[in-house]
Structure 1
């Protein structure tokens, strides 16, 4: 069974954003599968770093849309992004220090992605559509 199945409920209806979210879910599942298969520390580290890089780029893409479309909740949304970046960086630091963080990373990713997409990201959809996106 897939650790975190992609469902229609996770779609915000904006193709660019949905594609990025789907990739994040797929990579979360790849991390899960790698851990289940006994991946090396180096492999886990590479997956975590790849996720972090992609998350940063995804956040930049969203934040650029906020600026372009004058999203009124941009500052609060960006604060959520900053918090998550800090949590993932902490996991990376712990991994680099030799700690096994795979299970923590999976739970953080799953909980955060579901909450963030279903609650925080869906909040901007109406604004984006009202300004011609979607």
Structure 2
């Protein structure tokens, strides 16, 4: 069983965003497997963290461009959530680069944040997006 199993609860119904969320969940699982020693053939932890930082930032840009283009009324609060998370994962990467081991506790926080953000914060914009005709 994976650390953060993907399930239908994570599907928000907007294809591009669902695909990006799935990739983030898969990357979180890959990082977990690497930390647990289950995948010694995959990318090193630092590379996985770099991918996480890069992909998360790109994903957030996709959402934020849609917020701006559609006039999403909760844009500022949602963007603040993104900024907080970006700071957390960048800090995790920097600490790793400084020689600090990435802990399972840090990964649990990542999992909790992603789960909350997808299930609560992102799902909050779905109705608004659908009213504006965004489904893909």
The TM-score bracket by the shorter chain reads: over 0.9
Q: Deviations over 1:52-109 (max 9, x none)?
A: 1000000000000101111000000000000000111111111111111142431122
Q: Distance in 2 between matches of 1:16 and 1:102?
A: 31
Paired residue for 2:117? 116
1:50 aligns with 51
Q: CA RMSD in A?
A: 1.5
Greater share of helix: 1
Contact 1:9 1:118 in 2 (8 A): yes
Give the TM-score taking structure 2 as reference length: 0.93
1:77 aligned residue: 78
Return the alpha-carbon distance in structure 1 between the equivalents of residues 89 and 103 of structure 2: 11
Quote the Cα distance in structure 1 between the aligned partners of 2:132 and 2:46: 40
Unaligned runs of 5+ in 2: none
Give the match's secondary structure for 2:73. coil
Q: Would you say how many aligned residue pairs link Structure 1 and Structure 2?
A: 133
The runs of at least 4 aligned residues of structure 1 exceeding 6 Å deviation read none
Any idea what SS the aligned residue of 2:117 has?
helix
Q: Where do 1:20-39 residues align within 5 Å?
A: 20-37=20-37, 39=40
1:36 Cα shift?
1.5
Please state whether the residue corresponding to 2:100 is helix, strand or coil.
coil
> Within 2, Cα distance between the matches of 1:63 and 1:57?
10
- TM-score normalized by the length of structure 1: 0.94
User: Do 1:63 and 1:78's aligned partners in 2 also have CA atoms closer than 8 Å?
Assistant: yes
The gaps in structure 1 that reach 5 residues or longer are none
